[in-house]
Amino acid sequence: MIFALAVTAIVVLALLWEVLRPAIGRRIDILRANRARRADGEGLPGYDPGRERRAEQRARELLKSCVNDEEWEMYRDLGFIRVWGGESGDAEAVLSRDLRGAPYAYLVYPHRPIVAYLPQTGRLLNEYCVEFPDETRPYGSSRLPDSDDVLAKWMALKGDERRLISEANMHLPGRQIDPKMLQRDIWRLGRWERERLERAARRHVVGPAD
């Protein structure tokens, strides 16, 4: 009886080995290859969420130190910044000719297209798809932290709007960002600005009594 059980166990183990051997072999090959790549200093370093968080934190500090207070608060509270068009000192603003002088602005989101619109009416004008890829890929990615991407767009729009827009791929609204979301963001921005003004007015009233 014991002999029969032992033989059965050996047969089962042998069958299992036959079934699992290819998968185990493949796994061992992968581990060896990874070890060899690490030894050669090749391969991409693993994704480190802590590093990405620290990078974003640094980028937020830099953004805060460069933009105006209300733009920083807008980004912090709403997740995007509005930048007025035609401020970069061009003799002729990028869109003004088409708009016959009507003021226009851009919504700047991290890693999404820049959206031009008319603040007076909320009409969406264009999407400008633009990236700032760092091809040196220091940690395997060419993508800047979110707040650095926003700051790069802000500086480029402020400093040379025409150059940035000419590098971008222009599309009609709705290509990448849902127009309903944009309309909602424009509405949120309006409400945010009203509340901010009200807070400032209250402070102004309360202030002299302090």
Partner 1 sequence: MKFLRMRPGYGEQLIAEGDVDLAEDEERLVAEFRRQLEQGMWAAIPVKNESGRREAEMVRAFEDIPRTTDRVIFFPRAAGGAR
Two tokens at 33? 């290859």
From candidates 158, 179, 183, 188, binder to partner 1 by CB under 8 A: 158
**Binding-site string for partner 1 from residue 59 to residue 88, where x marks contact by CB under 8 A and - marks none:** x--x--xxxx------------------x-
Decide if 177 contacts 119 (C-beta within 8 A).
no
Decide if 126 contacts 170 (C-beta within 8 A).
yes
**DSSP 3-state of 81:** strand
Nearest-approach distance from CB 112 to partner 1, in angstroms: 9
CB under 8 Å to 207, separation ≥6 — which residues? none
From candidates 13, 31, 33, 155, binder to partner 1 by CB under 8 A: 155
Nearest-approach distance from CB 10 to partner 1, in angstroms: 53
H, E, C per residue of 23-45: HHHHHHHHHHHHHHHHHHCCCCC
Q: In what order do the strands lie in the sheet with 105-108?
A: 81-84, 105-108, 114-118
Decide if 77 contacts 192 (C-beta within 8 A).
yes
Nearest-approach distance from CB 119 to partner 1, in angstroms: 18
- Amino acid identity of residue 193, one-letter, is E
Q: Is 159 in the site for partner 1 (CB under 8 A)?
A: yes
From candidates 8, 43, 176, 181, binder to partner 1 by CB under 8 A: 176
Site for partner 1 in 1-40 (CB under 8 A): none
Nearest-approach distance from CB 63 to partner 1, in angstroms: 10
Decide if 81 contacts 71 (C-beta within 8 A).
yes
Q: Which of 96, 192, 181, 172 is nearest to 129 (CA)?
A: 172
Nearest-approach distance from CB 58 to partner 1, in angstroms: 3
Q: Is 54 in the site for partner 1 (CB under 8 A)?
A: yes
**Binding-site string for partner 1 from residue 84 to residue 123, where x marks contact by CB under 8 A and - marks none:** ---x-------------------------x----------
Positions that interact with partner 1 (CB under 8 A): 51-52, 54-59, 62, 65-68, 87, 113, 129-145, 148, 151-152, 154-156, 158-160, 163-164, 167-169, 176
